[in-house]
Amino acid sequence: MELNIALLAGDGIGPEVIDQAVKVCDAIATKYNHKINWTAALTGAAAIDAVGDPYPDETHEICVKADAVLFGAIGHPRFDNDPSAKVRPEQGLLKMRQKLGLFANVRPTFTFPSLIDKSPLKRERIEGTNLVFLRELTSGIYFGKRGREDDGNTAYDTCTYTRAEVTRLAKKGFETAMARSKKLCCVDKANVLESSRLWRETVQSMEKEYPEVEVSYEFVDAVAMRLVQWPNSYDVLITENLFGDILTDEASVISGSMGLMPSASLGEKNSLFEPIHGSYPQATGKDIANPLATVLSAAMMFETAFGLTDEAEAIRVVVNKSLDAGIVTEDLAEGKKAYKTSEIGDWLVANI
Ligand code: IPM
Ligand code: MN
């Protein structure tokens, strides 16, 4: 198969972890007889510096034309403490999600047998955890009406959802549940918020189309609690944009390191794959960041964007093998030998 992939390395450790994913993808392509055409494009602070826009039109064109987008990270500390900055790297991410129509953000949390004791939670609480969040990504409070009044002394952001937006995300949730263990949890705050009541009503009305799926409805505060008590009691969870942002960060550390969890952002036509972690500015250029979340995002890409499940599985197998062998970056080394980002990539390639 010929695979056309847009490559957006972005900022901070983005380029370093992306390099490893590219090596791994190329090795997989050689093994399974595919041809990958990579097209690199600018995004984030790097794009602001070059052309003044964190998601330039040229980058958008490249993403639209590609079969999939592989993305590193964006964000730069020089913008974080400058509330007056007019353009920010993060705006690029939001613009990209919206322009590519990436409404469903798939964020799994699973454990690795050899890392169980690295989790901040006790073994018996996390063993068997294998859940996936579907976070709505192109609406809600992130994209609602916002502004200032009262000479700048009052600020507001509004959370708006339409039934159509909830329906398309929930449909993905039901379908994902059907392909897994047929359990779906709708996370909302329907005891307080009108938009949550629309979510609940919409999901309830869809239940009859998926009679085999057992649906539960839970409030977001309760889910935040149960996620660290019994994460292995969840399977597929659907939720709105901001709740999903917060809960998926909480869930991402269950596996033992933030540097492990992949994600996919899916639209009707386009799809993007990226690690859950950010640009980790303190580690930039040091060759120490964990590349596995990006490598596992590439596995999701093979599976989801191209339907190449053997290739995806081959990546997961070699990643697990590296962890079992103690070939880990410093976030997981705990006083033992820490391998460099690039050494992890080389090891994976050599073992594919
Ligand atoms: C994420 C990030 C982004 C978000 C930021 C960088 C805009 O935290 O992908 O979860 O809030 O969606
Ligand atoms: Mn986030």
ipTM of the complex: 0.99
Q: What percent of the chain has pLDDT over 70?
A: 100
| Ligand 1 closest atom vs CA 274 | 9
Asked whether the predicted pLDDT for residue 257 surpasses 90, the reply is no
Q: Tokens 């949890």 sit at which residue? A: 185
Distance (Å) from CA 27 to ligand 1 centroid: 30
Distance CA 21, CA 3 (A): 15
- 6: confidence class by pLDDT, cuts 50, 70, 90: very high
Distance CA 146, CA 85 (A): 17
- 256: confidence class by pLDDT, cuts 50, 70, 90: confident
Domains 1-119+259-352 and 124-254 share a fold: yes
Q: What is the pLDDT of residue 104?
A: 98
Class of the CATH domain delimited by 124-254: alpha beta
Residue nearest to ligand 1 atom 7, measured at CA: 90
Residue in 122, 119, 120, 75 with CA at minimum distance from that of residue 275: 75
Q: What is the pLDDT of residue 83?
A: 79
Residue nearest to ligand 1 atom 4, measured at CA: 245
Domain spanning 1-119+259-352: which superfamily?
Isopropylmalate Dehydrogenase (3.40.718.10)
Distance CA 341, CA 283 (A): 11
> Which ligand minimizes its atom distance to the CA of 102?
1
Distance CA 277, CA 263 (A): 10
The domain locations on the chain are 1-119+259-352, 124-254
**308 in contact with ligand 1, CB cutoff 6 A:** no
pLDDT in tens, 295-328: 999 999 999 999 999 999 999 999 999 999 999 9
The answer to whether residues 103 and 266 touch, using CB atoms and an 8 Å cutoff, is yes
Which tokens in the block code for residue 114? 């050899």
In a 3-state reduction of DSSP, which class is residue 76? coil
Catalytic residues: 142, 189, 221, 245, 249
Distance CA 284, CA 289 (A): 8
Q: Which residues contact 130 (CB under 8 A, 6 or more apart)?
A: 108, 109, 110, 111, 232, 235
- 215: confidence class by pLDDT, cuts 50, 70, 90: very high
Q: What is the pLDDT of residue 3?
A: 98
Global pTM reads: 0.95
